[in-house]
Amino acid sequence: MRELRIAAVADIHLGEDLRGHYRKKIEGIERRADVLLVGGDLTRHGTIAEGRVVAEELSGLPIPVVAVLGNHDYHSDCNQEIIALLRDAGIVVLDDESTVLSIDGVRLGVAGGKGFGGGFAGKCASEFGEPETKAFVRHTKEIAERWRRALKGLDADHRIVLSHYSPVKDTLMGEPPEIYPFLGSYMLAEAADAEGADLIIHGHAHAGTEKGVTPGGIRVRNVALPVIKHAYTVYCLEGDDC
Amino acid sequence: METPHYVAARVQRALAEDDRTAELGIRVDVRGEEIYLRGQVSCDERRRQIENVAREAAPGLRVHNEITLVEVQEAGEEEHL
Ligand SMILES: [Fe+2]
Ligand SMILES: [Fe+2]
């Protein structure tokens, strides 16, 4: 089994004003990577017009592209339409589900979705009190449950979780601690740790840091564009022969 | 004079909620009559719009636009996991 080269980025926040810019930076990506994962916040306002720019920038690449949406992509209540137009452009969009790609006979499983907040163990919101608070926490809990199911059924040689929100605090370092509950939730990490994965990719924390690890030992990488400062970063998953 | 704390909060909300900006990651600090904007954006047009929205949300204050432009580089280094 050969090594897999995973290109990843998040928070590209495209709009009419950046049309063509991102595409230029990813030309030739097929020489460096086998797949491109995009961890949400594809747009700024989540409009259909911006969704079309994203579809143009990411479609027709020689390697498969797997994406999830971010909070910005929900802002105009067109998230379902954006998912549909990205899928029409040949992009695999995960909305709390999984996919398996076959790359030279190596099966790469990717599971995930937008994710959500709530905070981290010891300093997190709980499903208690006002309906608004309960709904907030329940949203994350239901997402984590769907990820668990998606991972459980995922038969592949390598497994990656793709998210927008962060599963751990490590990669938020640089963000004000007061907003951690809006940047991620430990429940996302808990789901991945329960079912197992090789890597978790996320974005959303523009001022955070790249590298972290879950309590269960899964590597976490925050690939928000302002963090990695490159069009994408490449992570290599070793094959048997190395 | 309005408490700087609340001015900063109002500007921060305006930057997030105004359609011209939709920026959640800008740090806003108010000191007396001066307002400081810090963060990173990917083009000059966005940096200018942030300044405009901040100025409208805090009329009369002097805006210091210290936002940096991040020029996205082509491809980063590889990491072997
Ligand atoms: Fe973002
Ligand atoms: Fe985000």
Query: Buried b vs exposed e over A70-109: b needs ≥16 C-beta within 10 Å?
Result: bbbbbbbebbeebbebbeebebbbbebbbbebebeebbbb
Contact list in B for residue A197 (CB cut-off 8 A) is none
Residue A240: per-residue pLDDT: 66
The pTM of the whole model exceeds 0.90: yes
| pLDDT tens by residue, B2-52 | 788 899 999 999 999 999 999 988 999 999 899 999 998 888 899 999 999
- What structural domains and CATH numbers belong to chain A? 4-237 (3.60.21.10)
Residue spans per domain, chain B: 4-69
Cβ <8 Å between A206 and B81: no
Neighbours of A203 (CB within 10 A): 34
Query: Ligand 1 center to residue A239 CA distance, Å?
Result: 32
Which one is the CATH code of B4-69: 1.10.3720.10, 3.30.70.1560, 3.40.640.10, 3.30.1340.30? 3.30.1340.30
Cβ <8 Å between B75 and A228: no
The single-letter DSSP state of residue A238 is P
The interface predicted TM-score (ipTM) is 0.82
Contact list in B for residue A199 (CB cut-off 8 A) is 81
Contacts 24+ apart (CB under 8 A), B43-46: B43/A17, B43/A18, B43/A21, B43/B69, B44/B69, B45/A17, B46/A17, B46/B21
Residue A241: per-residue pLDDT: 52
What's the gap in Å between the CA of B43 and the closest CA on chain A?
A: 8
| pLDDT tens by residue, A210-225 | 999 999 999 999 999 9
pLDDT at A242 over 60: no
